[in-house]
Structure 1
Amino acid sequence: MAFTDLLCRALQQKSQDILHAMDLLVDTKSSIQDLRDEGWKDLLDKVLSFCNKHGTLVPDMQASYSDSIRSRRNKDNISMEHHYKIDVFTTTMDQQLQELNSRFSEKITKLFVLSASLNPNKGYKNFNVDNICRLAEKYYPPDVSKDDQFHLRYQLQLFYRCVSNHDEMKNLSSITDLCRTLAEIGKSNVYPLVYRFIRLISTLPVSTTTSERAFSAMKIVKTSLRNKMEDDFLSEYWIIYIEKDITEKFTIDSIIDDFNSMKTRRVQFG
């Protein structure tokens, strides 16, 4: 928790430095992995010291550990230390790493890092034409054709010279501000490919936020009682749960009318 707390706080900030956040993510993963591989002995010593200091009963770590489930499945005896180290400590560390890897895969991390190349914060210090072109080629091929990718590189080079000499574009802090300013001062027509690509990048926080909300909803919606729910029904259930602002506008009468319009029924609801 001490390692992940700093990462959670950083990711919740409204003004986000993507590069620093991704560096912190990599460092957090490495720290948890080091703790998993080499941190058991130090943790055990701290726990034993705490228990002895407060008069808490400490089990014999070399004694045999058994429970009813393990006894039925495995006749081999294991020690108390093995149980707490493998079944509790290592399992917890693996769950933490799996959660971070699933939410922030290598592909998603690279996407965030490359998208930071368009961030105008701190005088466009992260601006990198090669990274932006690589981002367009790898992640947005349906939106940016091969011909557009060729011209995008030259528009980006001219665009960077422009922002360095334009007062209204020097002190921007986010991609959203950059997109809005380009439209306001008419530069969106001068650099149409750059403007289109900035608009694509500006939707990235929205899409990732929706994904995060979906992950949170999954734990609530798909309980053990709903474990056999089919994918189509589960997907529709998620939409209703996540988009509560939209579903609150539905009325019982509109739902009944839609249900009746699907096909002819012997009994009509009214």
Structure 2
Amino acid sequence: MRIKTNEYFTIFYEGVRGEAKLLTNEPSLPRTRKPPSRFVDSLPTSLSYESIYDLYHDEYFEIINNILNSLDSRFKQSIFPLLCKVEQFILSTANGTQDCDDAINIIDIDEFLTDDINVDRLNLELMMLPDYFSSINKEKKLGLKKITKISTVCELLNAQQLGKTMFYEYCKLITLYLTVPVTTATAERSFSVLNRIKTYLRCTMSQQRLNHVIIPHIHKDKLDLLDLNSVCSDFISKNENRKTFFGAV
């Protein structure tokens, strides 16, 4: 990895030092602290550096190693290889290439299908799936030559209500794949939002209202895409009293 080389650190160090000249004083080595005499034998010996370059050199590589270890622990989980196989299986069956030598077959993802998918029915659905997607592609004039995204598969299945009914087990497989919590980022984000939403002044807020407030706050990017005029029109049109009060839509 290029950033874990001494040459890269030297370039990085000199660049930062050059930009910092106008902002702060020249860096200096921290004063070496001596531990109390009664702790001399129990505490590790403190490192001493000959130059500020050596100090930042060790700190730089320590930070890089910590970042890489954190990424490895987050993304090299046991579920990841299985999810990759499931994704390849969904795409290969959608393209009708599951008979290739290097294609993932249903046996490879048997662990993912346990107790949730009717394998026999799924096999029957997979035989009809490529022809169905091909007909939808021609009918809607989508111009798809090869399906490379799960979102494209979902769009083809949602093109007609018949698709979800005919390929029920296949849709269930995609639903399971899309709902597997690969990371805990969403849950952690919810707890962070909780401190901002349920403040001391809102301590009597009910659980139902709290849920209704937190969900739009977390997914505000999707909420911004909504057309408020159409939402208001839909709200008014569902009640005669609202139509009388707000006027006809």
TM-score, normalised relative to structure 2:
0.51
CA distance in 1, matches of 2:32, 2:191: 34
Structure 1 residue 158: Cα displacement: 2.9
Q: Return the structure number with greater helix share.
A: 1
SS of the equivalent of 1:197 reads: helix
CA distance in 1, matches of 2:130, 2:172: 16
Q: For residues 201 and 55 of structure 1, do their structure 2 counterparts lie closer, same or farther at Cα, with a shift above 3 Å needed?
A: closer
Q: For residues 56 and 160 of structure 1, do their structure 2 counterparts lie closer, same or farther at Cα, with a shift above 3 Å needed?
A: same
1:103 aligned onto 2:66: no
Percent of residue pairs bearing the same amino acid type: 14
1:43 aligned onto 2:12: yes
CA distance in 1, matches of 2:74, 2:16: 31
CA distance in 1, matches of 2:191, 2:4: 27
Structure 1 residue 78: Cα displacement: 1.7
Amino acid at match of 1:57: N
1:85 aligned onto 2:57: yes
Structure 1 residue 157: Cα displacement: 4.0
SS of the equivalent of 2:115 reads: coil
Residue in 2 that maps onto 1:234:
none
1:136 aligned onto 2:106: no
CA distance in 2, matches of 1:218, 1:97: 26
Q: For residues 191 and 67 of structure 1, do their structure 2 counterparts lie closer, same or farther at Cα, with a shift above 3 Å needed?
A: same
Structure 1 residue 245: Cα displacement: 0.7
CA distance in 2, matches of 1:131, 1:170: 29
Residue in 2 that maps onto 1:268:
none
CA distance in 1, matches of 2:127, 2:35: 66
Equivalent of residue 185 in structure 2, options 179, 196, 212: 212
SS of the equivalent of 2:106 reads: helix
Residue in 1 that maps onto 2:25:
57
Amino acid at match of 2:66: Q
- In structure 1, list runs of 5 or more residues that go unmatched: 1-32, 222-239, 249-270
Q: For residues 158 and 55 of structure 1, do their structure 2 counterparts lie closer, same or farther at Cα, with a shift above 3 Å needed?
A: closer
More RCO (CA 8 Å, sep 6+)? 2
Structure 1 residue 159: Cα displacement: 0.9
- Maintained 8 Å contact 2:4/2:61: yes
Amino acid at match of 1:36: K
Which structure has the larger Rg?
2
Structure 1 residue 214: Cα displacement: 2.4
Structure 1 residue 50: Cα displacement: 3.0
1:161 aligned onto 2:131: yes
